[in-house]
Structures are given as C-alpha cells and as structure tokens.
C-alpha cells in the first residue's frame, strides 16, 4: 500500500507581533538602508517591481529570507512570485508559517483597532492641511 506525506502543512497564527518576532521581519527602513538596500519609500516594504533587489540580496546573504503578502492581512514566510508586497526577514525560515489576524478568534477586535488607527491617521492628515 502506498504511503503519503503532508509536505505542505500550513502553520497559521493570528498574532502579528509574534509572527514578526519569530520570523525576524525587518520593519525599519533605516535598518534596510544600513544593509545597503536603498529605495524611495520610508516604509520597510518592497513592491513587486523591487523584488529582484531582495532576491539578489538573499542569494548573497543566506541568513535572510523573503516574506510575501499573499492577501490583504495575510503574510506567508516564503517568496511567492507575482505578488505586490514583500518584506525582508532574518529569523525562522519555516516556509509553512503564515499569519492572518482577520481570521482569528479576535478578528473583529483586530479589525476595529486597525480601522480606528487608520481613521485617526486620516483625521490628523486632514487637520494638518488647514491653515492656522
């Protein structure tokens, strides 16, 4: 009788901060500049058209790896070609690890916190446009 094995068993977490700590996700653009990765954005994300920059970097620096945003809010600890957002990381390289706080038991609370933060930022931006 033939046997089968689960080669791709996803380990899904809901805790974004735990995922960032475990994978060593680099979220500081200054740290990326220190590594020699320069780009026009202040955020620490790489867009699809910049992915070759970090692919080449990871080939030369084996301790680093790529994290891909495969859906809004979902990050996978592996390189997935053809996506729009990527991160550089230096930590656990388990390719089956993923995070999506929007499907966890506290998804409604997380979504509310995200929306409140986004609305506060937009409100601050609107107020800063008004002359004093």
Whole-model pTM: value is 0.72
User: In a structure prediction context, what are the per-residue pLDDT tens digits for the chain, which is 132 residues long?
Assistant: 454 445 567 788 878 889 999 999 999 888 998 999 876 667 788 999 999 999 999 999 999 999 999 988 889 999 999 999 999 999 999 999 999 877 755 545 555 665 666 667 776 666 655 555
Cα separation, 102 vs 46, whole angstroms: 22
Percent of the chain with pLDDT over 90: 48
Separation CA 79–CA 56 (nearest Å): 13
């Amino acid at each position: 009788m033939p046997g089968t094995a689960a080669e791709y068993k996803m380990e899904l977490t809901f805790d974004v901060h735990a995922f960032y700590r475990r994978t060593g996700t680099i979220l500081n653009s200054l740290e990326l500049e220190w590594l020699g990765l320069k780009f026009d954005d202040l955020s620490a994300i790489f867009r699809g058209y910049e992915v070759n920059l970090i692919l080449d970097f990871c080939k030369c620096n084996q301790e680093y790896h790529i994290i891909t945003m495969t859906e809004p809010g979902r990050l996978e600890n592996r390189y997935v070609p053809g996506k729009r957002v990527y991160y550089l990381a230096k930590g656990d390289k388990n390719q089956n690890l993923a995070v999506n706080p929007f499907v966890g038991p506290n998804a409604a609370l997380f979504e509310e916190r995200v929306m409140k933060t986004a609305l506060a930022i937009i409100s601050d931006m609107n107020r800063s446009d008004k002359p004093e």
